[in-house]
Structure 1
Amino acid sequence: MDDSQQKPHALIFPYPLQGHVIPSVHLATKLASNGFTITFVNTESIHQQISKAAGLDSGATGDGDADIFSEARKSGLDIRYATITDGFPLGFDRSLHHDKFFEGILHVFPAHVDDFVGNLVRSDPTINCFIADTFFVWTSMIANKYNLVNISFFTEPALVFTLYYHMDLLRQNGHFATPGKSFSTAFLRRLNHHHTHTQTRNKGEIFMLLR
C-alpha cells in the first residue's frame, strides 16, 4: 500500500447471533490481512458467551485473555476489539425473550451504536468505513452522520439472500405462507434498498454478499 494513502480503518458490527458473528470474524481477519485496520465490536452479551465457552475471563471491554483477536495481533494483524451494550442486562435471557430482544435491537440498540461510533470517530479520525450486518436496518443513518463509507455485509449464503429477496414471488406461487401470521417486511425493504444502492452506488453504500 502506498504510504501516501490513508490506511483504511473499518468498524465491523456483527449481528449478535453466533451464525452472524463467525462470518464477521472471518471478514475481519481477511481485511486485516489485506492492509486494513479493523475495530471489531461485539455486544457485551455475545462477548460473555464466547468467553464462557472458551473458559476465558470475560473482561467488560474485551481486554486481556478474553480478546478474541489477541492471537491475530500477534501475527501482525491490526485488529482492535471492543464491546458495546445491546441495551439489555447481561442476565437477560435473550433466547427466552427473543421477541423483546429483537425489538430492542431494532429500536434501542441503534442509539447505543450511534453514541459508540461518534465517540470512536472523534477519538480516532482514521476511521473511514462502517461495516455492519445487513440484518441491522438502520446502519446507513449512522454511517452518513459520521461521513463513513457504509458497507452492508450479508453473512448468510447467497441462496438465503435470494429467498428473502423473492419472498413476494414465493407467496404468490404458494411456496411460502403462514396462516394468521405476517412475515416482517422491514428486512425485505432493506434488501430492496441495498439492491438499489448496489446498482447506483448512491451515498457510498456498498453491499457485500458471501459466496
Structure 2
Amino acid sequence: MAQKEAGVGATSGGGKAKPHAVVVVYPLQGHVIPVTHLALRLAARGFAVTVVNTEAVHDQTARALGVDPAGYDFFAGARASGMDVRYELISDGLPVGFDRSLHHDEFMGSLLHALSGHVEEVLGRVVVDPAATCLVADTFFVWPATLASKFGIAYVSFWTEPALIFNLYYHVHLLTNNGHFGCNGEKYDFWNPLQYAYVSMQ
C-alpha cells in the first residue's frame, strides 16, 4: 500500500519547504499507539508526515477491526480532514502469517537486521528535500541514526514507553550491581525490557 509521495518537500507560499517527518513505527502494540498519536499531532501542526508501518501490524490491526487489510488505510480519516499524512507498508523481514509471539527471537533478529533495509528503500523514495526532512523513530530501534546520516536528514529518537520504564533502563546498572536483576550472558529474553536494555548497552 505504498503511496506516491508527490508534494513532499514542496515549498509553501513563502518559498520555504514544508517540513516532512518520516515516522517509523516499532511493530509492537504498546509502541504503535504513541507513534500514531505523534504522527497525527505533527500533521495537525502543518507537517507532511509519512508513517512507515509493517505489513504484519497492519494486517493484524485491520483484521481486529473486521476490515479487509488490502483496502484499509489507518490515516484515510486524517487525510479527509485535511492532514497531509501518507502511509507506507513494509515487510519486517518475515511473512505476514509468521507467528511472532511464538518465535520472538527470530522476530527480534529480523527487526535488528532486516527491517532497516526496507526503511532505507522508503527513505530513498520520499526524501526530496533533506533540509526539510527528519526521521522520527522509536528509541528501541538501533539503526535509525545511521540511516538518517546516510540521507543527510535530522533524526529524532522518540521514547514511546512510560517515564518509569525509562528510569528503569537508565538505572539498570544499579539494579544489576545490587543484585536486583541478573543476566548470565548466555540466554536473554528479548521480551523482558530490562534484559533487552542491558544487552543493548553492552
Is TM-score (shorter-chain normalized) higher than 0.5? Answer: yes
Q: Offset at 1:108? A: 1.6
Aligned twin of 2:46:
35
Q: Offset at 1:173? A: 2.0
- Residues in 1 aligned to 2:165 and 2:182: alpha-carbon distance in whole angstroms: 17
Residue ranges of structure 1 left out of the alignment (5+ in a row): 190-211
Question: In structure 2, the residue corresponding to 1:174 is in which secondary structure?
Answer: coil
- How do residues 124-143 of structure 1 correspond to structure 2 at under 5 angstroms? 124-125=128-129, 128-143=133-148
**Alignment-mate amino acid for residue 100 of structure 1:** E
Q: Does 1:155 align with 2:166?
A: no
- Residues in 2 aligned to 1:186 and 1:12: alpha-carbon distance in whole angstroms: 26
- Residues in 2 aligned to 1:52 and 1:187: alpha-carbon distance in whole angstroms: 33
> In the TM superposition, what whole-angstrom CA distance separates every residue of 1:142-184 from its partner, at most 9, and x where no partner exists?
0010011101111001111110111001111222225675534
Q: Which of residues 58, 72, 77 is equivalent to 2:69?
A: 58
- Residues in 2 aligned to 1:37 and 1:174: alpha-carbon distance in whole angstroms: 48
Residue ranges of structure 2 left out of the alignment (5+ in a row): 1-11, 189-194
- Residues in 1 aligned to 2:177 and 2:140: alpha-carbon distance in whole angstroms: 24
Instruction: Report the count of equivalent residues.
Output: 182
- Structure 1 contact 129–151 (Cα < 8 Å) conserved: yes
Aligned twin of 1:203:
none
Q: Offset at 1:72? A: 1.1
Alignment RMSD: 2.0
Question: In structure 2, the residue corresponding to 1:45 is in which secondary structure?
Answer: helix
Worse-matched range after superposition: 50-59 or 148-157: 50-59
**Alignment-mate amino acid for residue 27 of structure 1:** L
Q: Which of residues 75, 89, 93 is equivalent to 2:95?
A: 89
Aligned twin of 2:17:
6
Q: Which of residues 96, 102, 106 is equivalent to 2:112?
A: 106
> In the TM superposition, what whole-angstrom CA distance separates every residue of 1:103-142 from its partner, at most 9, and x where no partner exists?
1111121122222211322xx4476110011110011010
- Residues in 1 aligned to 2:157 and 2:112: alpha-carbon distance in whole angstroms: 16
Q: Offset at 1:14? A: 1.1
Q: Offset at 1:2? A: 7.4
- Residues in 2 aligned to 1:80 and 1:181: alpha-carbon distance in whole angstroms: 40
Aligned twin of 2:180:
175
Question: In structure 1, the residue corresponding to 2:69 is in which secondary structure?
Answer: coil
- Residues in 1 aligned to 2:164 and 2:187: alpha-carbon distance in whole angstroms: 24
> In the TM superposition, what whole-angstrom CA distance separates every residue of 1:74-94 from its partner, at most 9, and x where no partner exists?
111111111001111111111
Q: Offset at 1:186? A: 4.7
Question: In structure 2, the residue corresponding to 1:161 is in which secondary structure?
Answer: helix
**Alignment-mate amino acid for residue 114 of structure 1:** E
- Structure 1 contact 128–149 (Cα < 8 Å) conserved: yes
Aligned-residue identity in percent: 49
Question: In structure 1, the residue corresponding to 2:94 is in which secondary structure?
Answer: coil
